[in-house]
Chain A
Amino acid sequence: MKIKKFLYSQKAAPYVFVLPFILSFLIFWVYPLCSTIAMSFQNIKPTGIEWIGFKNYSKLLADKVFHTAVLNSFQYMLLSLVLLIPFPMLYAVLMDSRLVKAKGLWKALLYLPALTSVVISGTLFRLMFSEYHTGQMNVLMDLLGLASQKWLKVKATGLGALIVLCCWRWTGVNMLYFLSGLKSIDGSLYEAADIDGASAIQKFKFITIPLLKPTTIYVLTISVYAGLAMFLESFMLWAGNASPNNIGLTIVGYLYRRGIEKNQLGYASAVGLILLIIALIINVIQLALNGTFKKEDK
């Protein structure tokens, strides 16, 4: 009875409410994170565990295939930032203006790809980038008077296909993020600028971009993470984790290959932790450059 009374008290109630989070945090976050850190210093064999210090890491630093994977992930991430921040921002500004008619239709259309699962979109794009002359991209090349390409067998075009897939899926989503950011900007600022005779470009530069900053930081952060951790898109585009000369191999793809396909848990854990370190460093640099720490230390 005493316990029941305590559980119903105002003091205990918040802890009861957050208990699932504490449990889940410990079981499904702290434990796996610690265990992957520990595993990265181990050589795990069916016969037993052997602590090997930093050997997994030193091996990894000399691993050419890992270098390829890191390079691929970085190229993909950077290209996705270049294409998936300015353009969606511009589209959102256009959508927010009175220039565009039938907005609802275009918003829904641009969002449609995000609804398809990566299996479906990856398969569709693999077939479009087929090397046969009847594949859609080669038909397009033909129309432009260019030669057919073996899209998914060459590094540059393979990466291109990945980026096209990425833009196809996320342009609409990012546009919606920016649109909601624009909605929070006070309209009177633009009116004041109009009175001062500011041009559309000046308004964009001095009002829209600075005030969209929180949204931009948010989109930038999730794009950096999603870009670096990209795996399934490549997995589906090449119908499996193997691509010719590893042109589609990403860091997570390599983690999957070593950890799941080859069962080298220690080595794969090291791959994962290097990815985590890279992601955190980029995130901290990015937030520092944007001055987030200065504003929000409470």
Chain B
Amino acid sequence: MNKTVSSLKPGVSMKRKIGSLLATAWFAFLGCIVIFPVFAGLLASFRPGTELIRKGLSINLDVSTMTLGNYTYLFSGNADSVKYFNWFKNSMVLTLVTVALTLMICFFIAYGLTMYDFKLKNLLFFLVIATMMVPFEILMLPLYQEMISLKLIDSAAGVILPGLCAASTIFFFRQYLTTMPKELLDAGRIDGATEYGICVKIMLPITKPAFAAMAILCAMGSWNNMLWPMLVFRSADKFTLPIGLNTLLTPYGNNYDVLIAGSMFGIIPIFVIFLMFQSYFIDGMTTGAVKG
């Protein structure tokens, strides 16, 4: 459409080119601003942590004074290194378990809410939405108390269980499943499959794209989750990466070496996943927004 206009009028074409240049330049400018803190952090990770404490985050491009010291220290296998990779491992395990369980359970819930007509259907869906209306921060205190009485404090179960039935994930799966033909269920029934067999063997495989999108979003949330794990975990050997890094934030000692190198290294897993599955990422996070 725009091309036809510009080929008709040379003046418009010139204007369009300038506009295009300006718009692209603006996004390049924004991109630079956005990347800057990460870039500065990356540069700082090649310098001693004491410099961070004394000078703040400053850009020093002098390559000759850069060292890999922080990273060799991080990978050296000493006490700090062992501590860091323990957090890293904890985060990995917690993320994998959370993602696997959340997706399965939310899929089943959404499946039940979409594929069947039953009495409580609308009420239950309303309740799913209602849980979104109360910020987690309000429930964290009574939940924390509850975890203490359930003896789930300081355990991975205590971190994972309250978040398993994530309303946004259920909502997403429901949106996806409503586009699926319900006739498949009847076809399955005629073939003698049980209700659960239909769900797992027929419907689940064709929902894979939704799983991919949700897996990535859920992994990102879990990898970076901090507030609730910080309340639940008490022993240092169970800490996840964000909580562990947070414990390094004392102005004393040489903790900033591990902090800055560890922070930069900790971005890598989620960044790699993002680059690999960028389109799924966008699908997953925007479904709620379009349907309102």
Name A's B-contacting residues (CB within 8 A): 8-11, 13-18, 20-22, 24-25, 27-29, 31-33, 35-36, 39, 91, 94-95, 97-102, 104-121, 123-125, 127-132, 134-136, 138-139, 168, 171-173, 176-177, 179-181, 183-184, 190-191, 194, 214-215, 217-219, 225, 228-229, 231-232, 236, 239-240, 252, 255, 259-260, 265, 268-269, 272-273, 275-276, 279-280, 283
Contacts and interface: CB of A to CB of B under 8 A. Distances in A.
12 contacts: A17-B199, A18-B120, A31-B142, A102-B24, A119-B226, A168-B33, A176-B282, A190-B1, A229-B136, A239-B249, A273-B138, A275-B138
Nearest to A17: B112
B20 A101 contact: yes
Contacts of B26: 94
A181 B24 CA distance: 21
A103 B115 CA distance: 39
A168 B142 contact: no
B144 interface: yes
Contacts of A279: 133, 135
A115 B216 CA distance: 11
A97 B11 CA distance: 19
Contacts of B266: 117, 120
Interface stretch (B66-74, B75-83, B124-132, B207-215): B124-132
**Helix, strand, loop or mixed for chain B's interface?**
helix
Given A33-B134, A127-B56, A276-B138, A265 B145 contact: yes
A25 B30 contact: no
A14 B30 contact: no
Most chain A Cβ neighbours within 10 Å, of B19, B194, B224: B224
B242 A117 contact: yes
B59 interface: yes
Contacts of A136: 40, 56-59
Contacts of B162: 24, 28
Contacts of B7: none
B278 interface: yes
Contact of B259 (A13, A107, A123, A181): A123
Interface in B2-41: 2, 5, 16, 19-20, 23-24, 26-28, 30-31, 33-35, 37-38, 40-41
A124 B37 contact: yes
Given A35-B145, A106-B28, A99 B23 contact: yes
- How big is chain B's contact interface, by range? 35 or more
Nearest to A239: B249
A229 B40 CA distance: 29
B292 interface: yes
Nearest to A187: B1
A115 B34 CA distance: 12
Given A99-B19, A109-B31, A124-B38, A21 B128 contact: yes
Contacts of B199: 17
For the complex of A and B, the 9 pairs showing the least CB-CB separation, nearest first, are: A17-B112, A130-B56, A135-B56, A214-B292, A180-B286, A127-B57, A32-B142, A14-B116, A117-B224
Nearest to B60: A134
Interface in B82-128: 105, 108-109, 111-113, 115-116, 118, 120-121, 124, 127-128
B137 interface: yes
Given A110-B30, A134-B56, A180-B290, A8 B195 contact: yes
Nearest to B164: A24
A10 B112 CA distance: 11
A20 B161 CA distance: 11
B196 interface: yes
B291 interface: yes
B159 to A, nearest CB: 12
B37 A128 contact: yes
A232 B226 contact: yes
Interface in B250-292: 259, 263, 266-267, 270-271, 274-275, 278, 281-282, 285-292
Given A106-B31, A232-B226, A119 B137 contact: no
Contacts of B115: 14
A15 B112 contact: yes
A241 B58 CA distance: 25
A128 B40 contact: yes
A29 B141 contact: no
B220 interface: yes
A278 B89 CA distance: 40
B146 A35 contact: yes
